[in-house]
């Protein structure tokens, strides 16, 4: 279009040029001797042409004529009459180029046609191409997982040992085939979030040195029917071309939930996708050398068909690490961080009971951020302690202005918790007591120091935890004229613990060893819609009475303990009012002073 406009403007501009030179003017100039040169350009249609003359004043004139021969004859006659020697230059007849007249227009037309067709195809196929790719797998293939092996995974010794068998089979399959062994077709990694399931899958692929396909369970599901099943077929077809290989499906519960439950009815898009996955993993087709690994933290809602041997043959539980595992994880994450001499990773591992690998990494990362903000060049124990509070409880709001009355209430409340942590044998000891408000909305906090990891909860420990929960409310009742809403979360937690003792763990003598736990999970995550309780109204009333009796009994025992330690309660509250935060040594010194005083009185009586 731009070329056409330029050509039109050029010719339009050429046509606008005016020429007032006439044929008679030419003859007059020739007779007067004003002409110095004459050139004649003949047209293809001879004898027409164009005569151009150059005058003595340097100007150039031209005139179009109908008979070139007549002009030549006129110039010859004038030369004879005036004795001039004007020899006209006669140019060859101008002929148009074949390229310009024939080939170029055809090429331009062809280019225009091609451009138009391409634009039409682009517009027409814009949506169609996306629709055609809907059924394609979205899995990303990593030919080689670099810098990733089992040495980079800390705290999961037994889990790595199970996966090392898979790696050995991929490297040396004949050793197992000779004995008639069959490679596991699927490995399900189950466990809480952040325990390292995805990390284990990457390490397995890195150790085996085979192609690694990774995809999320949600990538299979679309609003269009049949797309998920098509993507499953395409994924396994691509995996067969690269066998032996590993397919890793993260969060498989998004596509492999139990069929026939929930609000969606029986046959929906998700179930078609699951059916196709079941067929691909163990159907009539043969998938030699393809190992499917999957990760989930909701194994309870998966369809039973996908959990049977032949599909997911092996289930690897990736649980929360113990003290030793937490220390190994901390050492891995602290390797590239400058650590101060006062940092004790073993102590950090001991007080971070229940932390996962992701939690520990986040703890050290938050500590690094705090150290950088403070302008330090290495991490100290102070930053790690601050990060512990920030991660576990919430960032302390030291700038928040609170009244002396609220501060006093909080001091006695937290002191009530702390005394029970210290006195009761199965909880505690106290690590930190604070009356500084936190980001979680708490006016203060009491952080215990777990002595060791325990696999089971005993009835005695659960009762002591209920007593600790009630310690804040008890302290308020004993010291203040009124009670506050500050113990609402404590009461909620105590009630939940007591209810679990009665309904789930069979700790009630009256109700016996029967599980009354109401598994009323949401219907949208794989449970039946018409779910009813497994017990009657009389049993429900008995459960409520038993829960209340447990809480009331714990309340009376906890109140008696705090009444026996009123001196420490007042001393702890006064110390918190003064310092706002106290550690284990300062808190325990309150009891040590009392014990020393009692020992001295006993010695005096003996004397």
Rounded to the nearest 10 degrees, the angle between the axes of helix 537-564 and helix 566-579 is 80
Any binding-site annotation on 380?
Answer: no
Any binding-site annotation on 417?
Answer: yes
Any binding-site annotation on 410?
Answer: no
Q: CA gyration radius for the chain?
A: 46
Any binding-site annotation on 438?
Answer: no
Any binding-site annotation on 130?
Answer: no
Distance (Å, rounded) from C-alpha 389 to C-alpha 285?
54
Distance (Å, rounded) from C-alpha 541 to C-alpha 217?
43
Any binding-site annotation on 429?
Answer: no
Contact 254, 218 (CB under 8 A): yes
- Find all residues with CB under 8 Å of 189, minimum gap 6, and list them: 197, 200, 201, 293, 294, 295, 296, 316, 318
CA-to-CA separations, 105 to 95, 101, 112, 172, 322, in angstroms, rounded: 17, 7, 11, 68, 82
Any binding-site annotation on 191?
Answer: yes
Any binding-site annotation on 196?
Answer: yes
Contact 41, 91 (CB under 8 A): yes
Is the bond leading into 244 cis (omega within 30 degrees of zero)? yes
DSSP string, 504-558: TS---TTT-S---------GGGT--SS---SS-HHHHHHHHHHHHHHHHHHHHHH
Distance (Å, rounded) from C-alpha 197 to C-alpha 358?
11
Any binding-site annotation on 446?
Answer: no
Any binding-site annotation on 439?
Answer: no
The helix or strand, by DSSP H or E, that contains position 51, with its residue range, turns out to be strand 49-55
Distance (Å, rounded) from C-alpha 275 to C-alpha 225?
13
Distance (Å, rounded) from C-alpha 285 to C-alpha 322?
42
Distance (Å, rounded) from C-alpha 473 to C-alpha 559?
10
Is the bond leading into 568 cis (omega within 30 degrees of zero)? no
The helix or strand, by DSSP H or E, that contains position 52, with its residue range, turns out to be strand 49-55
Closest alpha carbon to 298 in 254, 350, 249: 254
Catalytic status, residue 519: no
Q: Kindly compute the dihedral angle of the four CA atoms of residues 122, 127, 128, 129, in this order, to the nearest 10 degrees.
A: 70
- Find all residues with CB under 8 Å of 480, minimum gap 6, and list them: 409, 412
Q: Which of 159, 269, 383, 414 is catalytic?
A: 414
The tokens describing 595, both together, are 């014990």
Parallel/antiparallel/unpaired status of strands 212-216 and 140-142: antiparallel
How many CB atoms neighbour CB 390 within 10 A? 19
Distance (Å, rounded) from C-alpha 389 to C-alpha 470?
22
Distance (Å, rounded) from C-alpha 25 to C-alpha 63?
10
How many CB atoms neighbour CB 396 within 10 A? 19
Contact 360, 326 (CB under 8 A): yes
Any binding-site annotation on 105?
Answer: no
Task: At 291, give phi and psi (nearest 5°).
Answer: -110, 125
- Find all residues with CB under 8 Å of 588, minimum gap 6, and list them: 422, 429, 430
Catalytic residues: 414
| Binding site listing for ATP | 191-198
Question: Which residues are part of a known binding site for Zn(2+)?
Answer: 413, 417, 490
Annotated binding site: 191-198, 413, 417, 490
């Amino acid at each position: 279009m731009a070329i056409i406009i330029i050509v039109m403007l050029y010719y339009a501009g050429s046509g606008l040029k005016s020429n007032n030179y006439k044929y008679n003017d030419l003859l007059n100039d020739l007779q007067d001797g004003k002409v110095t040169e004459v050139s004649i350009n003949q047209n293809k249609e001879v004898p027409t042409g164009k005569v151009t003359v150059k005058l003595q004043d340097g100007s150039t004139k031209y005139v179009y004529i109908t008979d070139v021969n007549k002009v030549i004859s006129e110039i010859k006659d004038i030369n004879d009459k005036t004795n001039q020697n004007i020899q006209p230059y006669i140019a060859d007849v101008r002929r148009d180029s074949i390229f310009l007249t024939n080939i170029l227009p055809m090429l331009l037309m062809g280019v225009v046609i091609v451009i138009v067709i391409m634009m039409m195809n682009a517009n027409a196929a814009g949506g169609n191409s996306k629709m055609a790719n809907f059924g394609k797998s979205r899995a990303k293939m990593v030919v080689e997982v670099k810098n990733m092996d089992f040495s980079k995974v800390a705290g999961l010794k037994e889990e790595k040992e199970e996966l090392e068998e898979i790696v050995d089979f991929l490297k040396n399959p004949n050793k197992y085939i000779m004995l008639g062994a069959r490679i596991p077709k699927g490995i399900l990694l189950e466990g809480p979030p952040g325990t390292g399931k995805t990390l284990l899958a990457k390490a397995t692929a890195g150790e085996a040195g085979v192609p690694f396909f990774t995809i999320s369970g949600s990538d299979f599901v679309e609003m269009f029917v049949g797309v998920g099943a098509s993507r499953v077929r395409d994924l396994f077809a691509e995996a067969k071309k690269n066998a032996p290989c590993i397919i890793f499906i993260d969060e498989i519960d998004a596509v492999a939930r139990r069929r026939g439950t929930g609000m969606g009815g029986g046959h929906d898009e998700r179930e078609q996708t699951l059916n196709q996955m079941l067929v691909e993993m163990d159907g009539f087709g043969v998938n030699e050398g393809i190992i499917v690994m999957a990760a989930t933290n909701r194994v309870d809602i998966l369809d039973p068909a996908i959990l049977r041997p032949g599909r997911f043959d092996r289930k690897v539980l990736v649980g929360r690490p113990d003290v030793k595992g937490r220390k190994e994880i901390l050492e891995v994450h602290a390797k590239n961080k400058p650590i101060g001499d006062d940092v004790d990773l073993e102590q950090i591992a001991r007080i971070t009971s229940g932390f996962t690998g992701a939690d520990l990494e986040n703890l050290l990362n938050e500590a690094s951020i705090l150290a950088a903000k403070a302008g330090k060049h290495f991490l100290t124990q102070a930053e790690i302690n601050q990060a512990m509070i920030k991660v576990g409880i919430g960032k302390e709001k030291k700038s928040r202005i609170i009244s002396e009355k609220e501060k006093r209430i909080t001091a006695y409340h937290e002191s009530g918790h702390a005394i029970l942590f210290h006195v009761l044998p199965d909880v505690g000891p106290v690590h930190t007591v604070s009356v500084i408000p936190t980001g979680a909305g708490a006016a203060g906090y009491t952080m215990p120091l777990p002595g060791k990891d325990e696999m089971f909860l005993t009835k005695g420990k659960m009762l002591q935890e209920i007593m600790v929960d009630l310690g804040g409310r008890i302290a308020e009742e004993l010291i203040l004229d009124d009670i506050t809403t500050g113990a609402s979360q404590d009461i909620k937690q105590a009630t939940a613990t007591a209810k679990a003792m009665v309904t789930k763990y069979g700790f009630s003598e009256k109700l016996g060893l029967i599980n009354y736990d109401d598994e009323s999970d949401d219907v949208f995550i794989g449970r039946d819609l018409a779910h009813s309780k497994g017990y009657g109204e009389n049993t429900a009333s008995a459960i409520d009475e038993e829960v209340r009796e447990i809480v009331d009994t714990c309340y009376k025992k906890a109140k008696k303990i705090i009444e026996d330690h009123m001196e420490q309660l007042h001393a702890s509250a006064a110390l918190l009012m003064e310092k706002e935060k106290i550690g284990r040594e300062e808190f325990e010194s309150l009891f040590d002073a009392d014990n020393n005083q009692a020992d001295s009185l006993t010695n005096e009586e003996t004397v």
